[in-house]
Structures are given as C-alpha cells and as structure tokens.
Amino acid sequence: MVIVPSIDVRGGRISYRGGVGADSDPREVAARYIADGAAELHLVDLDGAARGDFANFELLAAIARDAGVPCRLAGGIASLDRAIVATQAGFAGVLFSSAVFGDEDLLRRVSQVPGAIVEIEARDGQLDPRGGPHEFGLRAKGMDARVASRLASLRRVRALYVIDLSTDGNLGGPPLALMEELRREAGDEVTFHTGGGVRSLDDVRALAQWGAASVVIGRAFLEGHFTVAEAKAACA
C-alpha cells in the first residue's frame, strides 16, 4: 500500500479543519514529506472543490513539477479538459469528483483517462459530490454509493477513491466498512484508494491488511501523530 501525504490548499495556504497547518507554506510541507520518504503526493485545490475556482492550480502545479515524485491533483474535477490541462502541467493523474456520476457518458470517457481515479464521496452511504458542474452534482447527489461503485465498474473505471465525508478531516477513522461494501459491488478488477480520517498507525495497518492500493493522509502528519517513514514501515 502506498502512503500518500495530502497537501490541501485554500487561498494559497495549507487548510485543514480547525485551522491546522494554516501557517505552513505548501511548498515547505511538500519538501518535508518528500525528505521523509513520500513516493507520491496528493495535492488538493479546495477552492476548486468548493466553488469551481481553481485559484491554486499554478501553485500546486509548481509543487508537482518540483517534487520529483508523482503527484495527483484533486479538488472538484469533473472535466476532461481540466484533466488534460493537469497532465500537461506535470501531474501524474487526477481524481475526478463523484459529480461525474451525474453523466454516464462522461463517466465512461473518464475511465479512458490514464491515471484517472474516480471519487466515491459518501455521506451516510450516499454520494455527496464536491465540485463539478452543478447539474451533474444534483443528478449524482443521493445515489447509493454501492450503486455508484457497481456502475463505475461497468463503465470500466478501474480505480476508486473512497472517502466518508462525515469523518474526513476530523480523524474519525478510515471507512473500512464502506470500502468492503463497495468492493463487493465493484469486483476484483477495481483497485481501491482512500483517505480522510486516518488517525493512527493501527489505521494504516488495517488498511494495508484490507488491501487498499493507497491511503491519503494529511492532518495526522501535520499534527505529528506519526511520520511518513513510520507509516511506510507500518504497512511494509
């Protein structure tokens, strides 16, 4: 399982719930994670997710170009054009918002994008998309996450990123039960990634044992619960 530090940015600065990391420079945090052994980074444009304003794109692209490791871009992406721009800017891949479930043709085309991962943004077992065109989000909102997982598999999406929005950002633990339900629907051809809520090395071990392809960790690293090197050792 790959340990992927997350750098969540709003208004050019690190932004986590409760103001954690607000005084930190995203470039310095990225450099620290890489020095600690990160083999990949997860870069999130929170302004893009909240209102479709990708104000942090140039900053995140600069981090991706300088990182020396693959970087994913996330934050309300529901456009093939945006994915192409990200790839051209140096990102290794993008995470598509679950808003793409509001357009099955788009979902099918997303599955053909190299390095694409589709988010299952769930709240109480139902999709609650962040970002993307308003009409797509409205159609996708409320879809059973299990149905979405099965639909993604049928449309040949081969990587899903599962996040439980009720625990994201507050160290509520990984969504293992939800992931197990979704894996039963999607089948063995789909790999599962997750993030949000990881609070301890025991959580990391549990995800590795479950078979997650990667786990994204942000706040726990910034608060010093454990380091990238310790997380990598825990799932070795």
Give 38: exposed, middle or buried? Use CB within 10 Å, 0-12, 13-18, 19+. buried
CA 228 vs CA 40, 69, 122, 206: distances in Å: 11, 14, 26, 16
CA 78 vs CA 43, 108, 127, 129, 209: distances in Å: 16, 12, 14, 10, 31
Largest CA distance in the chain: 44
Percentage of the residues of the chain whose pLDDT score is greater than 70:
97
Q: Give me the pLDDT at residue 213, please.
A: 98
Average pLDDT value for residue range 68-80: 95
Please check the confidence at residue 189 and state whether its pLDDT lies above 90: yes
Q: Write the DSSP symbol of residue 39.
A: S
Q: Is the dihedral of CA 17, 11, 160, 77 positive or negative?
A: positive
Asked whether 96 and 130 are in contact (CB, 8 A), the reply is no
Asked: is 2-234 a CATH 3.20.20.70 domain? The reply is yes
Range in 151-160, 161-170, 219-228 the model is least confident about: 161-170
**Would you tell me how many other CB atoms lie within 10 Å of the CB of residue 123?**
16
- Give SS3 for 194: strand
Average pLDDT value for residue range 38-50: 93
**Could you report the per-residue pLDDT of 128-165, keeping only the tens digit for each?**
998 888 888 889 999 999 999 999 999 999 999 999 98
Q: Give me the pLDDT at residue 200, please.
A: 95
Q: Give me the pLDDT at residue 48, please.
A: 86
Written as six digits, the tokens of 190 are: 């789909």
Q: The pTM is what?
A: 0.94
Written as six digits, the tokens of 68 are: 């020396």
Q: Give me the pLDDT at residue 236, please.
A: 81
3-state secondary structure labels for all residues of 77-113: ECCHHHHHHHHHCCCCEEEECHHHHHCHHHHHHHCCC
